[in-house]
A and B are shown apart, each in its own frame.
Chain A
Amino acid sequence: GDSVTQMEGPVTLSEEAFLTINCTYTATGYPSLFWYVQYPGEGLQLLLKATKADDKGSNKGFEATYRKETTSFHLEKGSVQVSDSAVYFCALTQRRALTFGSGTRLQVQP
Chain B
Amino acid sequence: NAGVTQTPKFQVLKTGQSMTLQCAQDMNHNSMYWYRQDPGMGLRLIYYSASEGTTDKGEVPNGYNVSRLNKREFSLRLESAAPSQTSVYFCASSVDSINNSPLHFGNGTRLTVT
Contact = CB atoms under 8 A, between A and B. Distances in A.
Interface of A: 4, 32, 34, 36, 41-46, 49, 51, 89, 93-103
A45 B105 contact: yes
B42 A102 contact: yes
B97 A96 contact: yes
Contacts of A97: 33, 45, 48, 58, 97
B74 interface: no
Q: Interface size for chain B: under 10, 10 to 19, 20 to 34, or 35 or more residues?
A: 20 to 34
Interface of B: 4, 33, 35, 40-45, 48, 58, 90, 92, 97-98, 100, 102-108
A100 B43 contact: yes
Contacts of B33: 97
Given A34-B102, A96-B97, A89 B107 contact: no
A51 B100 contact: yes
A103 B105 CA distance: 16
Nearest to B102: A46
A32 B107 CA distance: 24
Given A97-B33, A97-B48, A98-B103, 6 more contacts: A46-B102, A46-B103, A93-B100, A97-B97, A102-B40, A102-B41
Contacts of A103: 42
A49 B102 contact: yes
8 contacts: A4-B42, A43-B105, A43-B108, A46-B104, A98-B45, A100-B43, A102-B41, A102-B42
A87 B23 CA distance: 23
